[in-house]
Structure 1
Amino acid sequence: MAVSCVILPLSVMSVLLGFSVVLILVGSASAAKFDELFQPGWAFDHFIYEGELLKLKLDNYSGAGFASKSKYMFGKVTVQIKLVEGDSAGTVTAFYMSSDGPTHDEFDFEFLGNTTGEPYVVQTNVYVNGVGNREQRLNLWFDPTTDFHSYSLLWNQRQVVFLVDETPIRVHANMEKQGIPFPKDQPMGVYSSIWNADDWATQGGRVKTDWSHAPFIASYQGFEINACECPASVAAADNARKCSSSGEKRYWWDEPTLSELSMHQSHQLLWVRANHMIYDYCTDTARFPATPVECLHHHH
């Protein structure tokens, strides 16, 4: 397996898609225990393990973070998170995918803490070739601190979709035909962390972290990575080729049904944008006097 990307996992793709799927298979269930897929990245003493549950702790000494053991190209990653309860102002809990280096690609969920009673804000961002500044912010339609909710990133050669409980909240489409770079040739790790960002996270930094409420705890379960695993020993171009469908080798993420949102998903996205979006970089004329090129082409 050292010379090819492999698929995690087989799941029920052939049943879902109604055709035979030829894959290199690895024995792995779709939902896995934390330590099968991930490892602590920093502040090991701020990890709390309670059976299948993982908790990350933020106090005035440190936050904490974890990273996937492997890197991936195309597929879907999901984690269920219960966010910091009560007064979480100043804190950020992040779930994201990122490649390495100065020209990295990155897809971000950042959950911005709040003072008690205010809605949690979710900020998403997309970096391509090291360039970000594509922030969108929305209020969730539920309280993410009282129960677990699933947050997913779906990535293929046509689009990147951010999903909350399987509802799309953002799509970044491939517009290479319009000369806009698209992230499709850098394997990405999967990460999550909690840290203090009270210089900007809550009301633009006006509300600071109240350390008398520490520790701030984010809880995790339901780790799923259904994606093309890319060994570090393989060149990125070879990984990109091996993680793409060709001939008899068909990957579920390359199916036409996943090249764009379904009609139902399109309606869901319109609903989210109409009712819950509170900031979109595409309409921020102060930051971008000229509308960013991809905003002109994106279908809303």
Structure 2
Amino acid sequence: MASCSCSSFSCTRGPSVLLVCLLATAAFMVANAGNFNQDIDITWGDGRAKILNDGQLLTLTLDKASGSGFQSKNEYLFGKIDMQLKLVSGNSAGTVTAYYLSSQGTNHDEIDFEFLGNLTGEPYILHTNVFSQGKGNREQQFHLWFDPTADFHTYSILWNPQRIIFSVDGRPIREFKNSESIGVPYPKSQAMRIYSSLWNADDWATRGGLVKTDWTHAPFTATYQNFNADACVWSSGASSCSSQSTTSASANNAAWLSQELDSTDLERMKWVQNNYMIYNYCMDIKRFPQGLPSECAIASIS
């Protein structure tokens, strides 16, 4: 096997060797079993965000004065991130609950789940997007096949060198592949934190801003539990994915680093996209009169 150092994700022998290095070093893994006191910093909201039940539960609240938000203590460079959410119930029109990974700066990378509220009885819109080197405009939107306000559901982002997979309750809904071979930037070199916020976006969130937030229903609350990150932690310019940590390596523990969708996964994703997708940028010819983005040619739905 060719040798390389994975400490900074820069292998001189190329990306295939990098992946071998990563797969061989499963001891770098971080498994955070959902204690918000240990894993999360509340960043804004003036007391509207609360960590409860000895770190097992977190709530974000929005009222007319302000929303609230939090971020992960750690930065990550590749990982599988799970969070269970119960969204704002009742009339949530105008509100947005955002849960995403992001780096910093003008040319940032970002992987988004955003939940756009609606009038009582109308479905939430689950909005997804991927930014690489500051470029986004890769939206796919879905309705859900359940009421996301009635109970907790698991929303997952799997991010490895080859692909990003968005999943809901273990069912893949979207895949964004690494298309660098055709000139499409892919988020692979900027560490990202997990962020979440509950905020008022009634200028655009519900029917393009036609339906405004009804503050008589405030405060609005979203609830979180069972945060889990199996991931490479980035700290002080280096990754915990270190080739020095090989004594307890296990290919099974590092499965997400090379995970892809098998035929069953693809059928399950196709079911969601056929029945619940309401917008796909790769089908929006009017939006891209000069031609659809390059990655659409190899997307699962194009």
* Pairwise same-fold verdict (TM > 0.5): yes
What is the letter of the counterpart of residue 143 of structure 1?
A: D
CA distance in 2, matches of 1:189, 1:283: 31
| 8 Å Cα contact 2:117-2:125 kept in structure 1 | yes
Q: Secondary structure at the match of 1:221?
A: strand
Identical amino acids, percent of aligned pairs: 50
Q: Secondary structure at the match of 1:77?
A: strand
Q: Secondary structure at the match of 1:160?
A: strand
- Aligned partner of 2:196 among 189, 192, 196: 192
Matching residue of 2:84: 80
- Asked whether 1:216 is paired with 2:220, we answer yes
What is the letter of the counterpart of residue 276 of structure 1?
A: Y
- Asked whether 1:34 is paired with 2:70, we answer no
CA distance in 2, matches of 1:274, 1:72: 33
Q: CA deviation at 1:139?
A: 0.2
| 8 Å Cα contact 2:31-2:231 kept in structure 1 | no
| 8 Å Cα contact 1:156-1:253 kept in structure 2 | no
Q: Secondary structure at the match of 1:282?
A: helix
What is the letter of the counterpart of residue 127 of structure 2?
A: Q
Distance 1:94 1:24, change over 3 A: same
How far does the alpha carbon of each residue in 1:44-80 deviate from its partner, in whole angstroms, 9 at most, with x for none?
4102333122111000000000000110011111110
- Asked whether 1:295 is paired with 2:299, we answer no
Q: Secondary structure at the match of 1:32?
A: coil
* RMSD of Structure 2 on Structure 1 (CA): 2.3
Matching residue of 2:48: 46
- Aligned partner of 1:127 among 114, 117, 131: 131
CA distance in 1, matches of 2:102, 2:31: 23
What is the letter of the counterpart of residue 34 of structure 2?
A: A
- Aligned partner of 1:162 among 155, 166, 185: 166
Matching residue of 1:274: 274
Q: CA deviation at 1:21?
A: 6.2
- Asked whether 1:150 is paired with 2:149, we answer no
- Asked whether 1:182 is paired with 2:190, we answer no
Q: CA deviation at 1:298?
A: 1.4
CA distance in 1, matches of 2:137, 2:26: 37
Unaligned runs of 5+ in 1: 6-19
Aligned residues: 275
How far does the alpha carbon of each residue in 1:192-239 deviate from its partner, in whole angstroms, 9 at most, with x for none?
1000000000011100000000000001101111100000x21xxx54
Distance 1:288 1:193, change over 3 A: same
CA distance in 2, matches of 1:228, 1:94: 23
CA distance in 2, matches of 1:244, 1:107: 25
Q: Which moved more, 1:143-152 or 1:243-252?
A: 243-252
| 8 Å Cα contact 1:76-1:154 kept in structure 2 | yes
Distance 1:246 1:53, change over 3 A: closer
Unaligned runs of 5+ in 2: 1-5, 9-22
Q: How does 1:6-17 map to 2 (within 5 A)?
A: none
What is the letter of the counterpart of residue 46 of structure 1?
A: R
What is the letter of the counterpart of residue 295 of structure 1?
A: C
- Asked whether 1:207 is paired with 2:208, we answer no
Q: CA deviation at 1:4?
A: 5.6
| 8 Å Cα contact 1:157-1:254 kept in structure 2 | no
CA distance in 2, matches of 1:252, 1:108: 23
User: What is the TM-score of this pair, normalised by structure 2?
Assistant: 0.85
Q: Secondary structure at the match of 2:47?
A: helix
